[in-house]
Amino acid sequence: MTLDRSSWWWRKGRPLLTIFVSLLAAGVATEPLQSAAWTEVRSRQVELHMSDLADNLGQGTLLGVLGGFRNVLSDFAWLQSYMYWEQHDRPDTEATLQLATTLDPRMLPYWDHGSSMIAYDIPAWARREVQQDYYSTDPARHAAAEKYIDQANQEQAQRGLAFLDRGLQFLPNNYTLLRDKAMIYRNRLQDLPQAAENWRLAAAAADSPFFAARMYFQLLLQMGKKSEGAERLRYQRAAYDYLRQLYPTLPADVPEAQKGGISDWMHVLEDILKIPHDPDPKYAPPPGWKPDLDPDLMPELYPDKN
């Protein structure tokens, strides 16, 4: 039988059949993936890492089998993670985040927002779980709740950092992921040395904004404030040396660079460290700049204030 090329079947039905067959094939191809991932979820395992999927299927094989469908499936997994996030379901939230990033590891927002969900949101759920005990007048109940919250904060911060380290394997030297690591170290773990180191790396990234460098040297000054004697001077000298390296690279006509403010800090540190001011023109303040550093506005940073 010869098909009429002007018929509905030829014009509409044939493309629809092609789409149906393609989706069916994708469903069959992804069945091993679903089994590998959701067996972990249904067993309520807390962790589901990329290595779990790789051991079951092999990531290269997985991505090769899925082809162009993996972007669609990663979007689906990402939406699923938000559904579990809204339900405050920790294991399934993390499992679907791992799945989404396994399917499409180059998708920066998955790593960025996912690390925030892991390191910040999940600990907040833990606090709500023991809120009554935390505010209890019973010292034992309060202490137990406080310990539970602290453990959740510590554990989830480490899990968030591990998640970002995975992301950096696919997006090396990425400013956003290094910034996220620095903020977790600073805000969740109060680890200033590691926070500073990650801000240093973030500031060196190709897409880094100007303020990342300021975050690094300010953390050096904060660590100096918390130190005494030679250790304090070491941090102050490290901050000064970093500013001398940074300053000539800053444009004088871009307000976000704050070249004048950096010049002020160099002068402050020269006074504290008793270093003669370098007359080299490349260290001169921007034209028309008047020093406006007010140490009272920055007591945490100003090096010679206690």
Mark residue 27 as left, alpha or beta (left: phi above 0; alpha: psi -120 to 50; beta: remaining).
Answer: alpha
Stretch 244-272: mean pLDDT, rounded? Answer: 92
- Mean pLDDT over 89-109 rounds to 92
Determine the pLDDT at residue 78. 92
Q: How confident is the model at residue 156 (pLDDT cuts 50, 70, 90)?
A: very high
Structure tokens at 232: 């304090």
| 112 vs 166: CA distance, rounded Å | 12
* Position 247 confidence tier, pLDDT thresholds 50, 70, 90: very high
Out of 48-62, 72-86, 180-194, the most confident range is: 180-194
The overall average pLDDT reported for the chain is 82
199: its two tokens: 């801000």
Q: 185-221, pLDDT tens digit by residue?
A: 999 999 999 999 999 999 999 889 999 999 999 999 9
Instruction: Look at the block and give the residue holding tokens 């006509």.
Output: 253
Helix intervals (H) in 104-138: 108-116, 122-129, 131-134
Q: Are 168 and 174 in contact (CB under 8 A)?
A: yes
Residue with tokens 């790593």: 111
pTM assigned to the model: 0.76
Name which of 266, 293, 289 is nearest 279 in CA terms. Answer: 266
What pLDDT shows up at residue 47?
47
- The percent helix, strand, coil of the chain (3-state, each to 5) is 75, 0, 25
Phi/psi for 20 (5° steps) reads -60, -45
Q: Please write the tens of the pLDDT for every residue from 63-74.
A: 554 555 677 888
152, 122 contact by CB (below 8 A): yes
Report how far residue 181's alpha carbon sits from residue 202's, in angstroms, rounded to the nearest whole number: 9
Task: Report which DSSP code applies to 207.
Answer: T
Please compute the mean of the pLDDT values over residues 104-125 and round it to a whole number.
Answer: 95
Q: Give the model's pLDDT for residue 50.
A: 43
Tell me what pLDDT residue 49 has: 47
Over residues 168-177, the pLDDT tens digits come to: 999 999 999 9
Place of tokens 């690390």: 115
Residue 33 has pLDDT above 70, yes or no: no
Q: Rounded to an integer, what distance in angstroms lies between the CA atom of residue 49 and that of residue 51?
A: 5
- Please tell me what DSSP assigns to residue 119: I
| Residue 206 in tokens | 């190709």
Query: pLDDT band at residue 131, thresholds of 50, 70 and 90?
Result: confident
CB 223, CB 200: distance < 8 Å: no
In single-letter form, the type of residue at position 294 comes to D
Q: Which two tokens stand for residue 190?
A: 């109060």
Please, are residues 23 and 16 in contact by the beta-carbon 8 Å criterion?
Answer: no
Q: Which of 294, 298, 305, 300 is nearest to 222 (CA)?
A: 300
Give the number of other Cβ atoms within 10 Å of residue 76's Cβ. 14
pLDDT of 139 strictly over 60? yes
State the CB neighbour count (10 A cutoff) for residue 109: 10
Q: Which bin fits 278, alpha (ψ -120 to 50), beta or left (φ > 0)?
A: beta
Whole-number pLDDT of residue 57: 46
Whether 109 and 74 have beta carbons less than 8 Å apart is answered as no
